[in-house]
Structure 1
Amino acid sequence: MKKLTFDIYIISRLTHIYYTRELRKIGLSFGEFPFLISVYENEGISQEELSSLLIISKSTTAMMIRKLAEAGYVRKEVDPDDKRNFRLYITDEGLKFIPAIRRIIDSCHEKMTEGMSEKEKNDICQKIRKIRQKSESSGMKTGKKGKKTVKNLSE
């Protein structure tokens, strides 16, 4: 059990390396990809909600959204209910990346689970989701036990 966090770290690093290499081929950076796919999967999400979803600072989110907007991949619209906030939407130009991103994600998942049965894949996903939920509710991010900060996008 002592190696669990180290194994998770190594899996994270290997995934990062794989995504970086594959995303570069389609003209995206590893930093841009989670923002683009999250806006696509959560049309109309606010920048604040996006920060919480990705567990990334508001300033980093603002910088990355500005970069993606300047590239023409996302657009910001003033929230009609709160003029201080923006809602985020993927553009037609940003949509062009989604099929390739999906292929990269699927390919990564296939490589990680090669040789596993569907039951084994489902079991490990459930266990990882449980570890994630326990990590979130334990206060690891906020220091406050019981505060949930991230919505589950993996279902």
Structure 2
Amino acid sequence: MDDLLYLFVRANKLIHTAADEAMSRHGVRVGQNRVLAALWERDGLTPGEVAARVHLSTPTVVNTATRMEEAGLLTRVRDPDDGRLVRLHLTERGLAAREPVEEERRRLMERATATLTDEERRHLQSALTKIVDRLS
């Protein structure tokens, strides 16, 4: 089992590094792509709503949104109906990042699983889903 844990950690680090390199070519850091994906699906979410969708803590999303705002990917707008809430809205730059970021993600997954058969990919996805569900 120690060997399996080592492989999980090693694979995670390698994928994380490769994803960060790929995303940074488009002005996006790894992790920010998850916030972007939530906002591409539904713009104007609160940090708490984004956090629930991407399985992160709200403070993590707030910190990420701060860096994303500085990078020009999104803006924060006070909710007109509830001044206590802040809503995250994509900028033109955030919207324009969608296609290249999604293409980078697709290429990375192709590269990472290139030596797997379709059946092995399905088994890997199933096994990882079970592990995530068990540990969540």
TM-score range, shorter chain: 0.7 to 0.9
What are the ranges of 5 or more consecutive residues in structure 1 without an aligned counterpart? 137-155
Partners in 1 of 2:30 and 2:105 — Cα distance?
12
**Pairing of 1:120-135 with structure 2 (within 5 A):** 120-135=120-135
Letter aligned with residue 101 of structure 1: V
- Shift, 1:124, TM fit: 1.4
Partners in 2 of 1:130 and 1:80 — Cα distance?
41
Partners in 1 of 2:117 and 2:16 — Cα distance?
25
Q: Any conservation in 1 of the 2:16–2:30 contact (CA below 8 Å)?
A: yes
Partners in 2 of 1:81 and 1:124 — Cα distance?
45
Report the RMSD for the aligned CA atoms in angstroms. 2.4
- Shift, 1:106, TM fit: 0.8
**Pairing of 1:79-90 with structure 2 (within 5 A):** 79=79, 82-90=82-90
Change in CA separation of 1:70 and 1:25 when aligned onto 2, cut-off 3 Å? closer
- Shift, 1:74, TM fit: 1.5
Partners in 2 of 1:20 and 1:71 — Cα distance?
15
- Shift, 1:25, TM fit: 2.1
- Shift, 1:60, TM fit: 3.6
Partners in 2 of 1:121 and 1:62 — Cα distance?
34
- Tell me what 1:73 maps to: 73
Among the aligned pairs, what percent are the same residue?
A: 22
**Pairing of 1:32-47 with structure 2 (within 5 A):** 32-47=32-47
Q: Deviations over 1:22-79 (max 9, x none)?
A: 2232233235333223322343332123334445443342232123224332133334
Structure with the larger helix share: 2
TM-score of the aligned structures, taking structure 2 as reference length: 0.80
Aligned residues: 136
What are the ranges of 5 or more consecutive residues in structure 2 without an aligned counterpart? none
Q: Is residue 61 of structure 2 the alignment partner of residue 51 of structure 1?
A: no
